[in-house]
Structures are given as structure tokens and as C-alpha cells.
Amino acid sequence: MTRPSWTPGERLTGRDPEPDLPPDAPVVGVLALQGDVLEHLRALRRSGARAVEVRTADDLAALDGLVVPGGESTTIGRLLERFELLAPIRARIAAGLPTFGTCAGMILLSDELDQDRPQPLIGGLAVRTRRNAYGRQLDSFDTRIEVAGIDGGPVDVAFIRAPRVEKVLDDDAVEVLAEVDGFPVVVRQGHLLAAAFHPEVTGDDRLHATFVAMVRAARGDA
């Protein structure tokens, strides 16, 4: 018996596991070790990408872009080490793979953390980030923010145990696209995009669409 290749949880929603996409749709992977994977897959598919789960180094080979999702950054970091993914992801990013980190993903992409306790990081983004900058789970909140370069008015976002950028380490390399209370919460550094919140849970796909456009541009699409 042939079974469809469902993303875990997708079958129960009644949604198709993969919408119709053009043959040239970019392939964007979502790191699927822990965290908010399913909603990113859906948002990427709605934004025109062929979204796939990434669990091994072999999964990286066919990617045009990568999303590092929200979740628990220390847990994801340890799993990256356990499954020997840190070095391969760092190599792909150094080679120019467009990468989008959200919430814990922003933490993992940061070059530095504002904390005494060390934890595994992917790095590459020249910022210093602070975990749980807006408080713990009970302090989570939804809001709307203006993001430079995104048309259509403020973007709907959800701050859930969210980090923020405490310091930009290279002003020439890092572009601040949005702030909350004077601190950067969306930044871009070349082929790296990072957001302190969860854009995948609000139904506002414009940040995902922006990232898919970055992936297409890096691939050389017209």
C-alpha cells in the first residue's frame, strides 16, 4: 500500500500536504529537530516555495534556502551537535545559502548572546541577542509592526518568549528592518534574515514571501 508523504499533523487538518507549485519553485528546508516546524512549512508553501523538512546533513544538499524555526534554542543547538548538523549548516550559510531565523532561529544565527551560559550557535549574523528579552511565556503578546521593505501596512506578529537584538556588531553589514521599544527585532545581513517573533502563526505571510523572494534572487531567477 502506497501512503502519501504527509508532514506530521497535516493529515488531521484536512489540508493537502503539498499545494500545486510550478516546476521551478525554489526548495526551502525547515530545520525539523524541534520547534514550530509545521506552520513554517505551510507559510512557505503559501508563499510559493517547495517546503521540505531538514533533519540530516544529506537533506541540505538540494536546498535553495533554509528556515531555522522558533522553539527552544538550547535544545535545538544540542540536537544540531548530536546529529552533526552544525558544521554542514555553517558551511552552506558561508557559501551563500539564504537562511531565515525566527525567534529561537534568530538566537541560533547570532554571533553572540547576552548571557553568561554558553550554548551551541550556528552564527553568521553579526548581532548580540538576548533570550527571553520580553519576559517568559505569560508575557507573550501579539502586535503589528512596520517592517522596512514590506508593503501593505504593518505586519501581524506574535512575540512568544521572544529574544531581541541588544547590539548590532557590524553596522555596515547588518540592516535593521524593524524595531520594538528601540531594539531591533527584524534584521538582514546579506542572505541572512532574522526576526525575533513568530511570523508563521498569524496568517500574515509577507515575511515568508520576502524570504522566498530572497531565495529566488540568490538563485538567479528573473
Annotated catalytic residues are 103, 198, 200
* C-alpha gyration radius of the chain: 16
Q: Residue 109: CA atoms inside 13 Å, Cβ hemisphere, count?
A: 35
User: CB neighbours (10 Å) of residue 173?
Assistant: 15
Q: How far is CA 124 from CA 107, 150, 157, in A?
A: 11, 24, 24
> Which single residue is written with the C-alpha cell 513568530?
198
Return the ∠ at Cα 179 (arms to 194 and 90), rounded to 5°: 15
Question: Do residues 187 and 179 touch, judged by C-beta distance below 8 A?
Answer: no
